[in-house]
Amino acid sequence: MSARSTRAVTGGGEDLERIHPQATDALTYFVNYCHHGSLAAKAHLAFGTDPIEELTKLAEKIYAEFPHSIFFTSKLTFERDNWYIRQLHSEAALTMLRRLHLRNMPMVILPMKL
C-alpha cells in the first residue's frame, strides 16, 4: 500500500496526473515481483494532504478484506538521537502504530539504522 502526500505536488492537477501513473507503475512492479515468486500480492494507492490519514484508511480497507493482515513499517534510528531529529523525521511510525492498535489491527515497526 502506498499513500502519497499532495504536498509533494506543487503544480496542481497536472502534477497529480503525472505522479499517479508513476506510483501505479511502482506498485505494479512490486506486485509482479511477488507474483513471479509465487507470492500473493495486491496494490492499494491513495493521495491526500495527510499521509497518516490516507494510510489509516488504506489499512482499514485492507484489513476488512484480509482480516489476518499484519502491517509493517520502518523507523529511522540514529546513533545520536535528540528531540530535534525526532521532530524532523516525525513520529509517523509510532502514530500509525497507535492508530492501528486502537483499531485492533497488528503492526510491527522495524528499526532502520542510519
Q: Which residues contact 91 (CB under 8 A, 6 or more apart)?
A: none
> Whole-angstrom Cα distance, residue 17 to residue 11?
10
Report the pLDDT averaged over residues 23-45.
95
Residue 3, pLDDT score: 59
Residue 15, pLDDT score: 77
Lowest-confidence segment of 18-22, 57-61, 76-80, 95-99 by average pLDDT: 76-80
* H or E segment to which residue 71 belongs: strand 71-77
Q: What is the mean pLDDT of the chain?
A: 86
Q: Are 109 and 98 in contact (CB under 8 A)?
A: no
Residue 79, pLDDT score: 82
Report the pLDDT averaged over residues 77-102.
84
